[in-house]
Amino acid sequence: MIGGRSVPSAGVSPSPAPTILVADDEHALLGLMGRILERAGYRVLRALDGDEALELFRSASGAIAAAILDVTLPPAGGLSALREMRATQPDLGVVLVSGASLDAETREVLLACGGTFVSKPFSPRALTQALDEVRSDGTH
């Protein structure tokens, strides 16, 4: 301890912030979710559609702890992007968000992958709690 503060041991570096992929076609909501998560200590990758989300996911090479995806994400929907991501990274944490009710297909996907659903509009606390439940980086 130096000056009342803890100092890490030599050779011990703080662990990096978990990386979260957030994809929503509503620009303002995407920005808001990103800010909420950054304030909660996460590193955030943002995408406005499924194609961009998949591109970011592939370029991150397994470094993404969880994905937050809008169910109706263009062009093919959040579930389509999710299936492709989980084919590569089966332990990916998943939070699906939507302004619509939870339908049977989405419910099945969530059950299969251990994910969770958050209905829009949601509070910052609801978003971060859902994320904490599903993270795949071993620090649930």
Q: Dump pLDDT digits (tens) for 77-96.
A: 999 999 999 999 999 999 99
Q: Is the model more confident about 62 or about 32?
A: 32
- In this prediction, residue 12 has a pLDDT band, given cuts at 50, 70 and 90, of low
Which residue from 57, 93, 50, 53 is spatially nearest to 72, judged by alpha carbons? 50
Residue range of the domain that includes 70? 19-134
- In this prediction, residue 6 has a pLDDT band, given cuts at 50, 70 and 90, of very low
Amino acid 2: pLDDT: 46
User: Is there a domain that residue 11 lies in?
Assistant: no
Q: What is the CATH number of the domain that holds 36?
A: 3.40.50.2300
- In this prediction, residue 11 has a pLDDT band, given cuts at 50, 70 and 90, of low
Share of the chain above pLDDT 90, in %: 81
User: Is there a domain that residue 8 lies in?
Assistant: no
User: Is there a domain that residue 6 lies in?
Assistant: no
Q: How many helices (H) and strands (E) does the chain have?
A: 5, 5
Identify whether the C-beta of residue 34 lies closer than 8 Å to the C-beta of residue 22: yes
User: Is there a domain that residue 13 lies in?
Assistant: no
Question: How many domains does one find in the chain?
Answer: 1
Average pLDDT over residues 29-37: 97
Q: Dump pLDDT digits (tens) for 16-29.
A: 899 999 999 999 99
